[in-house]
Amino acid sequence: MAANGIPEDVLMDNDLIKDLVDVAKDSALLNGVLMRTKETPNSSEVVTYAPFTLFPSPVPKDTFHQALAVQTHYNRLVDRISQDSSFLEEALATTIKVDDFTGRLFNIYRHVLQEGKTQSIVLGLNRSDYMLDQNGDGSASLKQIEINTIAASFGGLASHTPNVHRHILKVAGRLEDSKRILDNNPSAGLAKGLAKAWELYGSERNIPVIRRQFEDVAKTGFLDQDKRLFVDGREVAIVYFRNGYMPQNYTEQNWEARLMMERSLAVKCPDISTHLAGTKKVQQELARPGVLERFFPGEPDVVDQIRATFAGLYTLDMGPEGDKTVAMALAKPDQFVLKPQREGGGNNLYGAEICQVLEGVKQSTERMAYILMDKVQPRPVHNYLLRLGTPLKLSTCLSELGVFGAYVRHGQDMVLNECAGHLLRTKSDEHSDGGVAAGVAVLDNPFLV
User: Does the active-site annotation cover 343?
Assistant: yes
Q: What are phi and psi of 105, to 5 degrees?
A: -60, -40
Q: Is residue 58 reached through a cis peptide bond, with omega within 30 degrees of 0 on the bond before it?
A: no
Is 155 within any annotated ligand binding site? no
Is 362 within any annotated ligand binding site? no
Q: Which is the catalytic residue, given 31, 126, 128, 148? A: 148
Rounded Cα distance between 130 and 112, Å, is 33
Rounded Cα distance between 96 and 411, Å, is 29
Is 339 within any annotated ligand binding site? yes
User: Does the active-site annotation cover 221?
Assistant: no
Is 204 within any annotated ligand binding site? no
| Alpha helical stretches, state H, 31-182 | 61-82, 85-92, 95-98, 100-115, 155-158, 161-171, 175-178
Rounded Cα distance between 424 and 401, Å, is 5
Is 375 within any annotated ligand binding site? no
User: Does the active-site annotation cover 425?
Assistant: yes
Is 342 within any annotated ligand binding site? yes
Q: Which is the catalytic residue, given 143, 339, 375, 409? A: 339
Is 156 within any annotated ligand binding site? no
Query: Is residue 332 within 8 Å of 355, Cβ to Cβ?
Result: no
User: Does the active-site annotation cover 127?
Assistant: yes
Is 340 within any annotated ligand binding site? yes
User: Does the active-site annotation cover 339?
Assistant: yes
Query: Is residue 92 within 8 Å of 102, Cβ to Cβ?
Result: yes
Residue 183 corresponds to which amino acid?
D
User: Does the active-site annotation cover 379?
Assistant: no
**446-448 vs 57-59, strand pairing mode:** parallel
Is 66 within any annotated ligand binding site? no
- Smallest Cα–Cα separation from 187: which of 420, 425, 359? 420
Is 240 within any annotated ligand binding site? no
Question: Which residues, at least 6 apart from 181, have a Cβ–Cβ distance to it below 8 Å?
Answer: 56, 162, 165, 166, 169, 445, 447
Rounded Cα distance between 169 and 179, Å, is 9
Is 343 within any annotated ligand binding site? yes
Is 341 within any annotated ligand binding site? yes
Is 148 within any annotated ligand binding site? yes
Q: Which is the catalytic residue, given 141, 153, 185, 254? A: 153
Is 97 within any annotated ligand binding site? no
User: Does the active-site annotation cover 146?
Assistant: yes
User: Does the active-site annotation cover 233?
Assistant: no
User: Does the active-site annotation cover 153?
Assistant: yes
Q: Which is the catalytic residue, given 280, 281, 367, 375? A: 280
Is 344 within any annotated ligand binding site? yes
Q: Which is the catalytic residue, given 344, 402, 421, 435? A: 344
Query: Is residue 446 within 8 Å of 56, Cβ to Cβ?
Result: yes
- Smallest Cα–Cα separation from 274: which of 121, 75, 82, 76? 82
In the annotated binding site for ATP, the residues are 146, 280, 339-348, 350, 400, 425, 427, 433
In the annotated binding site for substrate, the residues are 127
In the annotated binding site for Mg(2+), the residues are 146, 148, 343
Return the active site residues.
127, 146, 148, 153, 280, 339, 343-344, 425
In the annotated binding site, the residues are 127, 146, 148, 280, 339-348, 350, 400, 425, 427, 433
